[in-house]
Amino acid sequence: MAEGLQVGDKAPDFSLPDQDGKTVSLKSLKAKQVVLYFYPKDDTPGCTKEACGFRDSSRAIEKANTVVLGVSMDDAESHQKFIKKYSLPFTLLCDADGTVSKAYGVYKKKNMYGKTYWGIERSTFIIDETGKLKAVFRKVKVDGHIPEVQAALKG
């Protein structure tokens, strides 16, 4: 089911610890739009570029009554270092066992340099104030992604 999440579907609920160990749930964010972006690993080139893109457009995104949440399988300590190093103004969630990544259909078998492994496929979901998916971006290419997200928030 998660594989086929589409615009208009109810977003799978989640409850995950953030970089400070506080629990963040989708239910607690009602009345706001949510940009939920899944990324493979803290402080790697593509993930850093994407996070800094969200950082650099965070004012405009917040003006659209929207909160940005990054999700990876990294632990809280890794998230804290990543946030500090790049002055990220948004929350990063720890999906240590991949439960939420699986619910959103982004935990995939990947292949790098001939090695097969399981991990997060870069993906972004925009969830509207009612908890429904407003936009779905799979297999995200970092270049040009932030303007796509901003356009979807306005649309």
Is residue 47 part of the annotated active site? The answer reads yes
Do 88 and 53 form a contact (C-beta atoms < 8 A)? Answer: no
Which of 11, 36, 47, 149 is catalytic? The answer is 47
User: Can you give 81-141 as a three-state secondary structure string?
Assistant: HHHHHHCCCCEEEECCCCHHHHHCCCEEEEEECCEEEEEECCEEEEECCCCEEEEEECCCC
Confirm if 90 and 55 have CB atoms less than 8 A apart: yes
Q: Please measure the distance between the N-terminal and C-terminal CA atoms of the chain and give it in whole angstroms.
A: 26
Q: What's the rounded Cα separation, in Å, for the pair 131 and 32?
A: 9
Catalytic residues, by residue number, are: 47
